[in-house]
Structure 1
Amino acid sequence: MTSIEGTSEREFRASWIVWPATVIAISLVTRHLLLDRDGHLEWYGRNDIYAVSMLSALPISFFGAIRVSKKSRSSSVVLGACLLVASLCLAGISHGTSLDSLTAVTIARATLAILAAFAAANLCFAFVAPQRPNGQAPNPLESDQVAEGQGGQQALPAWTWLLFGVATIAIPATYTHSAAESLQKNLKESLGSQRIALAWEQCWQLRRFNPNAAAADTDLATLQGNLREEKIRLESEVERPMPRNMNISMIGRRITSLVQLDRNYEALGWIRPMMSGRNFHPISLDYYGLCQQRLEHPAESMRGYERSLQHWQRQPDSPSKRNAMTSAYKGIAFAARQSGNRRLEEETYQSLIELAPTAEHHFLLATCYKEHQKTTPAAEHAQLAVQLDPLYAEQARSMLSQLSRDHFSCFLVPR
């Protein structure tokens, strides 16, 4: 008896290692087959979406595998192997399968996750679950009934299986919907700032999240095709060697193309020689700040924008001076946010409004105040933005609504 108990204990301990290892191994193999030639995940788009889908499928797969393992280990082995092959085949054909509706891609994600998770669970029970000696009472989890007085009750009621099934689809779908909304906003910002390479990447992901979505009043398939063409054009342009007698205009186009492709380190190589000396050009300071901002180097970004601001403050008034100072103030404020310097961020946006009191700049300051939990000034500047440009009405309404919820009282927010 002691020998049997010792064997069972060793097998139980081994299961805690083998089970997660098997699940992880099958998940990684399936993920590898989902990758396209650019390293993107078909159907899922992002690793976190894939992970949530797999984890959501584990409960129903785990308890389903328990029922199969009651019959025999051979049943678990055969079913696990068949499901594994099916999941790998489904992952393999994902590249040639076009899913143009949200319903289709949601079902495809859930099906693949269930197949892979069910395969892993069956193989785990087949090779790790301890064999019961003859006469030993069954594990309650493995029995259809749990003794209770003279009667019995079903170990897992029908509603439990329904709950697991709904969770397998609903949890990833909800998570993906939230991720798609955030990604759609980021895509809009990338298009507005001419970040072609990043916008193409985001558009590709958004199509996998929700094929029915749109951006810039264009369906995602068309937008992705246009961005890809522009990306290829820019890549071809930056690969062409520069002539010996290159001028400032050629250098400017090369820098602009590199920045649009988010090849910021290469762009900095062209920018630095123009920041001082005989080749000095003031626009290089702004581009230096921008590249460092995108590389998440706030101190260097602020240094570039501050130098640009100081240069233009010494120049006579002109539209170019106003535009350059506006860009510098925005860059300094963003660098201050990245550095966690709230006071400097607020002061910089206030200086920006003094220079150019536009609806956009009032809304930027309102957003800044909102993030700093300063409810009243945030609401005031949001309303000023709407007065200057009614197009900000919807965004301002959303901000005011959120401010009211966050502070538990609409009386704290001016109407």
Structure 2
Amino acid sequence: MSALLVCLILVFLALGVPVGFALWLSGLIFVLATGATSLTQIAQSVYSGLDSFVLLAVPFFILAGNIMLRSGFARYLFDLMQSLVGSVPGGASIGASGASAIFGAMTGSSVASAAALGRTMIPTMEGLGYPRQYTAGLMAAGGTLGILIPPSVAMVIFAELSQQSVKSLFLAGVVPGLVSAVAIGAVAFTIAFRHGYGLRTEPFSWTAVGRSLLTAGPALAMPAIVLGGIYTGTTTPTEAAALSVVYGLFVGMVVYRSIGWRDLPAIFVDSARGTGSILFILSGALFIGMLATLVGIPQTIVGAIDALNLHPMGFLLLASLMLIVLGCFLDGFTLLTVVAPLLLPSVQVLGIDPIHFAIVLVLNIEIAAVTPPIGLNLFVIAGISGTTMKEVSLGVAPFVVALMAVLLLLIFVPHLSLMLL
């Protein structure tokens, strides 16, 4: 029966059916064909899975990300980084990586980060002498930091699926997120320096740094306020997410005055659509998860892992290889909501820290966002920059290698994920 369920899902996805509908259609056809459970049990299980205070953080973080996207926060952050490193040949590539890391600490979303950063930085860096293919690849990779550097919507979803602490997951993502940002920046600068990109420089000026810091200060305060509240125990993650919306509106409407009352309906509608899409997919994943448990798929995976006599590191390597391959054809959110719950029982049996597994998983999702043919960041950047998918894919390839190197480092050095806990 498990083969039937898996085949149904793969067929619908191959036909191009949207993920949420593919999961629900597969589950309902399976239930009608096998009588594995009742419709009442389905409704009760899905409702109880979604009835969570933690999940309330998702719409708030999405709304906050859209507010910052429309408010032009990315422009001020890049100007700040450019004032610091713009005097160095190829320094704008470091500035773009730094701005990506900071903006990632605000939005919690890979696609939102890529969209905001791409619109601002691609034309600016092209004017500084950077080829569009290179810049498009850098922005696609930089956008992935939005789901690893906290706050992160992906980590909130994983916390609900695995019953882990959101605060612990956010803490665990700090060091790996910074390591990923450094890796992306190092590769970007090396390529720029080797090929002579961005030789046009500006003299360093403390006055310019101070001016840009003053302008970017309100934006920089966002992650400090949100994460500071969570880490000190002053606010829950959901309360912090709501606070980020209030603060983002204040900065965008009062401080920067880059959005007005007329912009709010579009921002709210876009956020509602994004939230609805995520929660619909999550509901389908909960449904499929319930059926998978009924037919014994997790137990089958545990048995296969036991038969292979894998070491925990071997399991993480095998799981990462599988996730990277699947990530070429499935979006990261599908990997998170459908595949991850099936692997969690094996994680528990092997004694792997679930927080460490979560960071490895999220980094795999990052890689999925920039691997063709389905990588969402590639589509976003291609649309923004006017480049082809082939050009963006070629531009992002060195950064994919860098992220894979970071993935191996995190697998073999779990302390990097757990050192702040």
What band does the TM-score fall into relative to the shorter chain?
under 0.3
Which of 1 and 2 has greater Rg? Answer: 1
* Larger relative helix fraction: 2
> Structure 2 length as normaliser, TM-score?
0.26
Q: Which has the higher contact order (CA 8 A, sep 6+)?
A: 2
